[in-house]
Structures are given as structure tokens and as C-alpha cells.
Structure 1
Amino acid sequence: MNLSKIIPIRYNLGNLSQYRTPLMGMSIIMILLCHARMDGAQLPDVVLSILSLGNWGVDIFLLVSGIGMYYSISKKGNNINWEGWILSRLKRVLIPYLILESPFWIWYSLHDGTGIKGFFYYISFCSYWTEHVGLWFLALLIPLYIITPLLYKLLSSSYKYLNLGILLVIVMVISVYPVGDNTIINTIQSCLFRTPCYLIGLCIGSEVKESKRSCLIYLIPIILYIILQTFDSFSAVYKGWIWALLIAVLFAQLFSYMSRSRLYNVITLLNIGKYTLELYIGLDISKNILIQFMGLGTSYWLLSICGSIVFAFLYNVVFLKIFSKGLKWS
């Protein structure tokens, strides 16, 4: 077998778009599995350690999302209505979130006596920024979408790679800067260090769209990792996004190679990638409900995954089939 045909030296960046859905599917599977240790699953340590690497699935999702945002903006041209664009992004995120999460938080707020004030406190993500309670990923994604027009202008200019480098340094410096015991700032820092893949995806969007070939895509993650490990100031910086970038590149190439096989649709689980957001929200709801009735453990972990699938199914197959006419977005 010729390895260069499977992993070419000059990588076709277009693979990151062509195999976007399988990459999204892979990312949500990684996310579902990575909670094993924190959910108290009784598995061998080596298995738990491997599954915990699924945390990188978030970074893969953000990379592909960044590329997707470039496509979405660039196809609208220079006369884009930024307010309309932001609104369409927020609708895509908030509609399934509000529909799936609201019933639980209504019950929870009534149960703990906080009433309507408590409901809005939890459903608005305020609880996440102040108490670390809530869907951190969506709490990050919403402000990220709001500032994407500015990021797009910076990362699609003639100096986009310089701007990318500056943004990455700023993000890494802020994320490790000591601020003491301040919950809100600490939470902002914990979110910021997950943004590099989104910035990179937005920056390389034009090259991906043009299916340009480059060998640097392999070298950049490795070089970045070595640099961050060399300087003591950055040794504590989260580096999972670097490996996630490399994994996404390699798996997109693997999907390209596998696409000629009859097993492609089975192995890559194409359809899962279409419901990544709903599965993620469903996982959060499942955990919130299950923890009311049972403790952490293997059953809790497995049932939360099953619950995630059930809620995603209910939203996409049941709810949208009934109300799809009123919930169309671009």
C-alpha cells in the first residue's frame, strides 16, 4: 500500500469542507464518549484516559464551524446584511436550545422556589458565567457568532495570517493570565482557550473553498505544540486544539480514501453529523434529568448518551415535522 496516496504530502484543504458532515459526526461521538470519567463510569483507567481525549471533539466542531461561517458569509457577497446573518445563526442555535431545555428549567425553577426569575437566570446562560451551571458550549458559541463579522474582516484581509497569529497570542495570554478567584473571569478564560480552532477555520476558509493544496497543514500543529512547550509562560496553555486540528486533517483525508468503499456510509455515520447540535443539547438535558434520580456511574453515563439520542430524535423527527413551516431559517 502506498502511504503517500492515503496521506499525501500536499494536502487538499477542500477535504475539510467536502467531509464536513462526517467530521461533525465524529466530533459529537467523541464528545458523548469523553464524559465517561467525569460521569463516574467504572472502566479501566486506560480506557477512561483514551475516552477523555474525546474532549478534542469540541475543537474539531469549532474548526469545521469556522470554515462553515466563512462559506456562509462569503457566498452572500459584499452586500451582506450582518444583522440578518447574525440573527439566522442565533436562530439556528437558540430555537432547538429553547425548545429542548425550557421544560427542564421551568420545572427546576419551580422546584427550587426561584420561579420565573430563576428560569430566566438559567435559560439565559447567566448561571453559566456566574456559577458554571449550564451549557458552556452554547454560552461560548453565541458571543462567538455575534463577533464573527469582525473576525471575518480581520481573517479575510491581506494580512489575515498576521492577524490570526496576533489573535492566537492574545487568546493564549488571556487564558493563562492569573486573575485570582474570580468565577466570571475564570469562566471567560476557560472558554477563550477553546476558540483557536474556530479562528483557524475562519482564516483558512478561502483556501478550503478553493481546494488549495498545502503541506504546511501537517507541520503547523506540530510547530505550535513545540513552541508552546518551550516557553514556560505558555506551558500551561490548553493544547488540545492543536491535536484536534491535526486529527481533523488526517480523518478528512481518511474519509476521502474511504469514500470509494461501500462501507463509507456505515463507518463514517454521515447522518449523525447533521444533528450534532441537537445531540449536544440532548446530552445536557439527559444529565440534568438523570442526576435528579440517580448518582454518577456507568449507568448514568450510558443513559445520558441514550437520552441525548432520544431528545435529538424527538426534536428533528417529531417536533420539526409538525412545526417546520414556522421554523425555517437560512
Structure 2
Amino acid sequence: MRKNKIPYVIAVMLILVLLIGYVPYKGMEFPLLGQIKAGGWFRQGLYFCLGLSFTALLCEEKMQHGKILARENARQFVRGAALAVFCSVSERLYFFVVGTREFSGIEMGLDLLCAVLGSGVMMAVLALRASKEKGCVHSISRRNFHLDSISTYRSQLMGVAILLVMLFHMKSVRATFGGPLVGKIISCGYVGVDVFMLMSGLGMVFSLSKNQNWANFMRRRLVTVMPAYFAVAGIYSLMMIFAGDCGWEMLVLNLTTLSFYTGGDGTFNWYIPCILLFYLVTPWIYRRLSNPGRRVAWTVGLCLGSYLFSGILGNVFELGRLNIAFTRFPVYVLGMLTGFAIKEKWTFGWKDRIAMWVGGILFGGLYLLHEGKVVGIFCGHWLLFAPLAFLGCAELGALMKKVPESFVGMRALKWMGDNSLLLFLLNILLIRAAWVVCPSLGWQGIWFRRAVGVGIVIVEILAVAGINRVKKRLLARKKFTKAT
């Protein structure tokens, strides 16, 4: 059993939310904490949670009490508090340098105090657990679980992801459900794309472990993805051409995925070109992550480089949809790290789960409270949910272990996960078709728009079921022909 290193990467991603977000983007600044005007209590609570989370992440797997505790684990306390302090000092210095706010020593002192308190509380909890055990050493990882449930229930998790994406796309036909809170939760459905990225990265590790070369790897990926993409993107492009929204050149650009880089009216969805871009560099990343000693360093470096590239160059060049790729790339790399964790049976303790849930929910709360200040800025809402995408899959996979696979809900999720690519592509096509058929859709009544949204989901599910039935019959006929 190897100690889980994923929490360290999650900790760095949370720090990135605080620090990399300060890069000015197209005349705007994104000082996430500095824009919070909800009262000092929220800021102090934030730093308390940061101190708690970072300390839990850095503590050793075995806790010792007595004199040994004071000597050995004081280092972990200092490190955890220091990380939260580093965030606070960096924020204050940033505002002081750019001159947007005065440097307040009192506010910074309160931040530091809360960070140290959070770190101390976590250390006290860990020490209390250790002191209850007879003897000197007590493992705090009695409730460890492995991440193999993510790979075991990969199809079901992808089914959950495509459901989230379809709910999110309801906004495209202006179909709203429930009150403001439900609407905000649905508006977070793009986290399903993060789950897709995570699962794709995980699957690539198992695929490349079969000693494939780069050419065979890419050929398999293209055979898996491109037939469905060509069919749907071709129909989409022709529909847009005959609707008068673009010229014939867009058909070529969409089929070759070049529209991802050029943009323009009639451009098909960004996801497939983006994932193909990731596939190109996946074998290279796999070789780097295969070195256990440098695995975490490479993961952190790739995450940091991706955010910096998107944030800094986004001010100089019109990166357009490439920003989406660069801000999703860290989740893909985290998925590859998860693949190695599953293969090598890394342990995943309760303290890791607590720390990441505290951090993930904390930043998810920032999004819900300050949506208007976050959405539209280069790394805002995508980065906020990246930690929860991983931990949510781990927890949901563990929960699925307790549900019989014969349960109709599990079978439905598995079917949707197995057909998630085609469901996703058809969802994009049918949403656009709804606007072509009814250009005044946005001005129709709410119940009409809801009916259109639900109808799109029903039609695409029936279409995928029909396509699968045809494919099954053709395959059976082919086998019969060979046998005779």
C-alpha cells in the first residue's frame, strides 16, 4: 500500500484559486478574496478552513502522542498554518503593489490568527484520536478506502456526468426549473465535463499500460471517437449552412476540428477537439508520471503551467476556446494521477477526505455566493469545482458499492455512461436544431421551453437506443455471414 499523494495536488489547486486568479484578464482583475464584501467573518472563516485543510493534508499517516507528538508533529502544524499564512500575505502584498487597496496589518493579522487556529484545531483532533489508543502509535487511517471504485463504476459515474451536462444545457433553450437555488445548482452542471476529463485521464493510464506506441494509441482513440463525431458534426454543419448562419467552409473546419482554433459562426462544440488535443500529449505525460519520485511534481507543474499559460497569454492573444482547454487540462492530468493511484493501490484516509471536502465546498460556496464576480473570467468557475470533481467521484463510487448492480437506476446510469459520447453530441445537435426550427424560442412561455428541453433529452435517448439496436443487428448479420 502506498501513501496517497493526490491530496497534495488538490492542496496546490486550491492555492491556485487564490493566487493565479490575480492575473489581470482583459482589463479586469480577479482578486477572489478581495472582492468578498460579505463581512469579515467570511474571510476569517475561509482562512480557518485553509489552516485546517492544509494541516490535515500534511499530517503523517501515523499519529504519536506524548513527547513524541510535540516534537514530531509540531512540524506538520507549522507547515499547515504556513500555507494558509502564505495565501494571506500574498493577497495583501498583491493589493499593496497594484494599489487597489490599502495594506491593512490588522486584517492580515486576523487572517493569520484564524489560519493558525484552524491548523491547531486539526492537530488537536488528530492528537485526541491518537491518545484514545493504548500504546504509543495509533493509525488514523482505520477507515481508509481505495480508489478502485472509481474504475469499477466508471460507466455509472460517466452516466451521472452526462446527466449533469444535459441539465446544464437546459439553459441553452432557456428552460429553468425550481427556484433560484435549484437554478444555481443546475448552472453548475458543467462539472460533468470535469468528470469526463477525470475519467478520460484515468482510462488513458490503463490503456497506455498495455505498452502501446504513440501511433497505435492515437489510432485507437480516433477509431473510438471520430465516427460519431463526423456524423453529428456533419449534420450540424449542413443544418447551419442551410439555415444561412455560415458558409460551406465551416463544414470542412468542423469535420477537421479546426473550428476549435478559428472560431466563428457555425462552430461545433469544443469538447471533442479539446480531448483530441489532450490525447496528443498523453503518452508523453504518461512517461513522466511513470516515475514515482517525480509524479506529484510533474502533476503540480502541469497544472500550474496550464493556468498561467491561459491567464497570461489570454491578455495578449485571443485564445478563445483554447482557454477552456487549458483550464480543464489540470483535471485531465489529475485523472491520470488517479489512474496510477488505482493501479498501485494508494490508501485514501479520512483526514484526506475531510480536508478536501472542506476546501472543495468552501470554494464551491464562493462560487454560489459571488457568481457574478467569477463567471466569465479565465479560470473562475472551472477551477473552483476541479477538487470536488475528483473527490465527488471517489465518494460516489464508494456509495455505489452498496447499491446492487441489478437496481434499475444503476443499469440506467451504466447505459448512459456507455453511450455518453453519442448522447453528448446529439444533445448539442438537437439544442441547435430547436433554435433553427423555432427562432423565437427564447420568447416563448416557460412551460413551452421546459417541454422543448425535456423533449430534447427524450429524443436523444430514443435515438441512441435505436442506433445501438441497428449496430447490434448489423454485427449479428456480419457474424452470421462469416460463419456461413
In which range does the TM-score fall when normalised by the shorter chain?
A: 0.7 to 0.9
Unaligned segments of structure 1, at least 5 residues: 1-6
State the identity %: 21
Q: Is the 8 A contact 1:122 1:134 kept in 2?
A: yes
Q: Deviations over 1:282-309 (max 9, x none)?
A: 1011112111012243233223222332
Whole-Å Cα distance in 1 between the matches of residues 305 and 358 of structure 2? 20
Whole-Å Cα distance in 2 between the matches of residues 119 and 262 of structure 1? 43
Q: Is the 8 A contact 1:26 1:268 kept in 2?
A: no
TM-score normalised by length of structure 1: 0.83
Unaligned segments of structure 2, at least 5 residues: 1-140, 367-376, 443-448, 480-484
Match of 1:278 among 409, 418, 422: 422
- Paired residues for 1:303-314 under 5 Å: 303-314=455-466
Aligned length: 312
Match of 1:288 among 432, 439, 447: 432
Q: Cα distance, 1:199 vs. partner?
A: 0.4
Change (3 A) 1:104 1:253: same
Equivalent position amino acid for 1:127 in 2: S
Aligned to 2:233: 101
SS at match of 1:193: helix
Q: Cα distance, 1:175 vs. partner?
A: 2.8
Q: Is the 8 A contact 2:149 2:398 kept in 1?
A: yes
Match of 2:273 among 115, 139, 142: 139
Change (3 A) 1:135 1:236: closer
Aligned to 1:198: 332
Higher relative contact order (CA 8 A, sep 6+): 1
Q: Cα distance, 1:182 vs. partner?
A: 4.4
Whole-Å Cα distance in 1 between the matches of residues 274 and 352 of structure 2? 26
Whole-Å Cα distance in 1 between the matches of residues 424 and 145 of structure 2? 31
Q: Is the 8 A contact 1:278 1:311 kept in 2?
A: no
Equivalent position amino acid for 2:398 in 1: Q
Match of 1:254 among 367, 390, 399: 399
Q: Cα distance, 1:157 vs. partner?
A: 1.6
1:169 lines up with 2:304 in the alignment? yes
Aligned to 1:85: 217
Q: Cα distance, 1:38 vs. partner?
A: 3.8
Whole-Å Cα distance in 1 between the matches of residues 297 and 190 of structure 2? 29
Q: Cα distance, 1:227 vs. partner?
A: 9.8
Q: Deviations over 1:87-123 (max 9, x none)?
A: 1101211111112332332343355396643310233
Q: Is the 8 A contact 1:125 1:135 kept in 2?
A: no
Q: Is the 8 A contact 1:282 1:307 kept in 2?
A: no
SS at match of 1:285: helix
Considering only CA atoms, is the larger Rg found in Structure 1 or Structure 2?
A: 2
Whole-Å Cα distance in 2 between the matches of residues 304 and 201 of structure 1? 31
Q: Deviations over 1:137-166 (max 9, x none)?
A: 112111111111111112222311110011
Change (3 A) 1:11 1:108: same
> Alpha carbon RMSD of aligned pairs, Å?
3.2
- Paired residues for 1:35-50 under 5 Å: 35-43=169-177, 44-50=179-185
- Paired residues for 1:8-23 under 5 Å: 9-23=143-157
Q: Is the 8 A contact 1:31 1:54 kept in 2?
A: yes
1:61 lines up with 2:213 in the alignment? no
Aligned to 1:31: 165
Equivalent position amino acid for 1:46 in 2: L
Segment of structure 1 superposing worse, 314-323 or 163-172: 314-323
Q: Deviations over 1:26-72 (max 9, x none)?
A: 11111111123343114332221121222111111111111111011
Q: Is the 8 A contact 2:205 2:340 kept in 1?
A: yes
Change (3 A) 1:161 1:222: farther
1:127 lines up with 2:259 in the alignment? yes
Equivalent position amino acid for 1:204 in 2: T
Match of 1:71 among 203, 206, 210: 206
Whole-Å Cα distance in 1 between the matches of residues 378 and 262 of structure 2? 26
Q: Cα distance, 1:314 vs. partner?
A: 3.8
